[in-house]
Structure 1
Amino acid sequence: MPEDTTPAANHPQGETLAALKAVLDAPWDAPLHIVSSSAQLAEGMTQKLPLWEDRGWIEVDGATYTRALVNQLRQRCAITTFRTPRSGGEKDTMLAARDHAVASYVQSPPQHVPPRVTKSFDLSGAKMSTLTQALAYRGIRASATATERRTTNKHLSEIRACLAPRKGPVQDGEIWSEIRHADIRRVITDFLWKSIHGAYRIGSYWKNIPGYEERAKCRLCGVTESMAHILTECAALERWLIWGYVERAWTRTGRAWSMPSWPSILAAGQATPARTNGKPPRDNAVRLWRILLTEAAYLIWCMRCERVIRHEDEAAWQHDERSVAGRWYLSTNRRLRLDIESTHSRFGRLALKRQIVLDTWHQLVWDVQALPDDWTSVRWVLVGIDPTIVNNAGPGS
């Protein structure tokens, strides 16, 4: 009666690995009775196995070794059983075996158990009658091999370095998750995702295309263009003015302003504004910062594309101050209106709490003293961003 002989025997994958080792070591024509500390292994080999195979083993934890165990069991010509211990003596034997495994693990390196599979006994693929589009998509994603992208790794490294002083070590998965933050509009999430990957055709992309090398340079600054240059360095009027509007809006909260860096824009989902008098920002301040930051970055990118692509034949063309002010004012008002609409009861549990909206936008709403305490229920034409924010605004003005 083989017992589990790995330190992780109480873990489902440890039990699977121990069972596979027992099956590989036992003669194919000898009865084999596997006693496990839990019923999970037995349930997997009996009740769950048909479902796993119908799904093509998609999203099954430890599928490699579980699949190998099933493959080896099907090759046996003698009975194999799975059960939990039935007596105190069996439990004591299992505890002693586990203690022995732990001691052996410390004294000598563990042995590798190969997930050996015989093709003639391997049931591959998923059952069409049970396969859904979502499941097939997840299966394709799981089987795809991720390629290393130097630009992506460089940007992720910059983001981690930016967040480390305030948040400590940050995993890449957290960065990808936070750009999908609920406070960030979907179109801006796509913009941030592509920016981290360097997917936009700007700058060095054009250097290797004969006849288009001049597109690699910024027409205003004469340097190689990049998303970091477009958003934080370019001399374009729209970049200078939009960050000025954001500064004016932000300082109305009474908090200190610092010009966002390129990594902090990419990490907008996790980035937080600088401390004021050593005090961390409140949740509503963080939310406003996240919204202003992402909306401004995306607007700068959109207006840059209009200037460079739509007016490609006009080298000296730029947006005028009035149009930039109007575009920022309109986009910020639309974002405010989106928040207000999100509080509607028709969204049920997904509805945004009214107090969150009130706390986020209170300092920016025009003539808020003349509005009722809950201005989210007022007709939207009466609620908007204070237009004085865009009057002669610029960084440091």
Structure 2
Amino acid sequence: MTSKNEEGELIAGGGVWYAIGDARNMEFRLPGHLQHTAFNAETAAALLTIQRTHPGTPLNIYCAKESVRKTVIKKLSDMEDRAKTWFRTAEDAETSSDKAGYAGAAQLAQEGCRRPMPDQVSTVVPPEMVLKGLKLSKLTQALAYAAIKETKEIPFRRATDNRVKQVQLATKQNFNRLPAPPEIWKSIRHKDFTRQTRNFLWKSMHDAHHIGKFWKHIPECGDREICQFCGETEDLEHIVLKCNRPGQQQVWELAKELWLKKHSMWPNLSIGAILGCGLASITNEKGHHLPGASRFYRILISESLFIIWKIRNDCVIGNGGVPLPVNEIRNKWLFTMNQRLDLDRVLSNRLKYGAVSIRPLLVLQTWASTLKNEVELPQNWLIGPRVLVGIEPNQPSATPPRRRGRNR
């Protein structure tokens, strides 16, 4: 029960009712350190009831709010290991005594709201109720792995810390918000990324690729530290944004061209902005979030990043340092983007079969304004002939990227 006093302060009180004339009947007012809500008042009433009842006694607790029952059952399901306790709503009351009990508890709650001083509600868990470890009957490999991880201290890596700070700075500049490190690590596992891209982003955040300074102290491999084309240290930022070798510049020009068909703002690209593309939140002029544009941005930036990496490896490993032709670079990028478009169409059509899928409306919003001959397409182009992005390939036609072994 909640009410306001003369000063407008919100007050919450609760009541516990057992029977007419029962000495255990009580009313109380929530202490100041607890948030004064009806939910908290009912939860406190249930706690007081459990604390005053012998552990082996079967117990029925009637609550007005369904949320109390759901919360307790979900979070304290192991209570039944010690005693049988049922949480029910007022609608479940069958006997006249149960109904009278609920009415009596409500009356006591009103009286609790009128009390001048709050009561003390002990939230201390009795030592005999504190369970340590995990139940073997409930133990899974995932729980065991999580428990082992909690016991290990995460080592500090300067390179990783620098990457996190770069992502935070770029996100602040482009989207005017400062993400916390857990949010950054969650973003690189975004469902809009392919599995290969997620793995690549994870290694990139740790600066764990075998490039640049990795080769500096390895005998007979020191020359690999330097870019064969530019003569500078070949770190990830150099490969993705600065290298003069054909690849990165052409890919970002294509990405910008396709993006500007959909949105007027092209962000300032930096290594932090690229690795933090999973944090993108694109808005319109009124500041409203655009889920389709945000998703397209994540796909565009992540796929462009990964294909630059693959083009670099094709050049260094496959062609002995000879750059790929510009036409081939363009066609590789177009092939990749059209592959993602085709994948979205397939997944959107799986919805009716209950398989892993994407909402059709989100797919339509994602690729809107980026398609070839879009004005001639039907409103729902997810079903029908193949649809392509709105940039023409150069001849020869785009071909699938060659399969290679594990990248360096």
Q: Is the shorter-chain TM-score for this pair beyond 0.5, marking a shared fold?
A: yes
**Residue matched to 2:214:** 205
Q: Deviations over 1:179-232 (max 9, x none)?
A: 222322222122111111112111111112122111111111111111111111
Q: Deviations over 1:304-328 (max 9, x none)?
A: 12222234xx2x4111122212211
Find the residue that maps to 1:237 and give its secondary structure: coil
Match of 1:295 among 289, 303, 308: 303
Q: Which residue identity does 2:322 align to in structure 1?
A: W
CA distance in 2 between counterparts of 1:128 and 1:239 reads 53
TM-aligned CA deviation for residue 170 of structure 1: 1.9
CA distance in 1 between counterparts of 2:215 and 2:314 reads 18
TM-aligned CA deviation for residue 241 of structure 1: 1.3
CA distance in 2 between counterparts of 1:279 and 1:97 reads 46
**TM-score for the superposition, normalised by structure 2:** 0.64
Alignment of 1:1-397 (within 5 A): 95=118, 126-165=134-173, 166-253=175-262, 255-272=264-281, 282-311=290-319, 314=320, 316-344=321-349, 345-346=351-352, 348=354, 351-380=357-386, 383-388=387-392
CA change 1:38–1:325 in 2 (3 A) is same
Checking the alignment, whether the CA contact within 8 Å between 1:295 and 1:331 is kept in structure 2 is: yes
Q: Show structure 1 runs of 5+ residues with no match.
A: 1-5, 11-35, 55-85, 102-112, 392-397
TM-aligned CA deviation for residue 37 of structure 1: 5.3
Checking the alignment, whether the CA contact within 8 Å between 1:243 and 1:296 is kept in structure 2 is: yes
CA distance in 1 between counterparts of 2:48 and 2:202 reads 41
Checking the alignment, whether the CA contact within 8 Å between 1:284 and 1:359 is kept in structure 2 is: yes
CA change 1:126–1:290 in 2 (3 A) is closer
CA change 1:269–1:254 in 2 (3 A) is closer
CA distance in 1 between counterparts of 2:288 and 2:217 reads 47
The root-mean-square deviation of aligned C-alpha atoms, in Å, is 4.3
CA distance in 2 between counterparts of 1:217 and 1:46 reads 71
CA change 1:274–1:219 in 2 (3 A) is farther
TM-aligned CA deviation for residue 177 of structure 1: 1.5
Checking the alignment, whether the CA contact within 8 Å between 2:284 and 2:290 is kept in structure 1 is: no
TM-aligned CA deviation for residue 41 of structure 1: 9.2
Q: Which has the higher mean CA deviation after the structures are superposed, 203-212 or 253-262? A: 253-262
Q: Which residue identity does 1:199 align to in structure 2?
A: A
Q: Which has the higher mean CA deviation after the structures are superposed, 252-261 or 140-149? A: 252-261
Instruction: Tell me the matched-pair count.
Output: 313
Checking the alignment, whether the CA contact within 8 Å between 2:237 and 2:271 is kept in structure 1 is: yes
Q: Which residue identity does 1:182 align to in structure 2?
A: K
Checking the alignment, whether the CA contact within 8 Å between 2:281 and 2:290 is kept in structure 1 is: no
CA distance in 2 between counterparts of 1:280 and 1:131 reads 44
CA distance in 1 between counterparts of 2:216 and 2:49 reads 61
TM-aligned CA deviation for residue 162 of structure 1: 1.5
Q: Show structure 2 runs of 5+ residues with no match.
A: 1-30, 36-42, 57-74, 82-107, 396-408
Find the residue that maps to 1:168 and give its secondary structure: coil
**TM-score for the superposition, normalised by structure 1:** 0.65
Checking the alignment, whether the CA contact within 8 Å between 1:175 and 1:270 is kept in structure 2 is: yes
Q: Which residue identity does 1:348 align to in structure 2?
A: G
Find the residue that maps to 1:377 and give its secondary structure: coil
CA change 1:367–1:212 in 2 (3 A) is same
CA change 1:41–1:202 in 2 (3 A) is farther
TM-aligned CA deviation for residue 151 of structure 1: 0.7
Q: Deviations over 1:337-357 (max 9, x none)?
A: 111111122453863222222
Find the residue that maps to 2:186 and give its secondary structure: helix
TM-aligned CA deviation for residue 132 of structure 1: 1.5
Q: Percent identity?
A: 29
**Residue matched to 1:394:** none
TM-aligned CA deviation for residue 163 of structure 1: 1.7
Q: Deviations over 1:138-163 (max 9, x none)?
A: 21122221111111111111111122
Q: Deviations over 1:274-295 (max 9, x none)?
A: 988x977733222222211111
CA change 1:365–1:123 in 2 (3 A) is closer
**Residue matched to 1:32:** none
**Residue matched to 1:76:** none
CA distance in 1 between counterparts of 2:258 and 2:223 reads 37
Find the residue that maps to 1:174 and give its secondary structure: helix
TM-aligned CA deviation for residue 389 of structure 1: 6.3
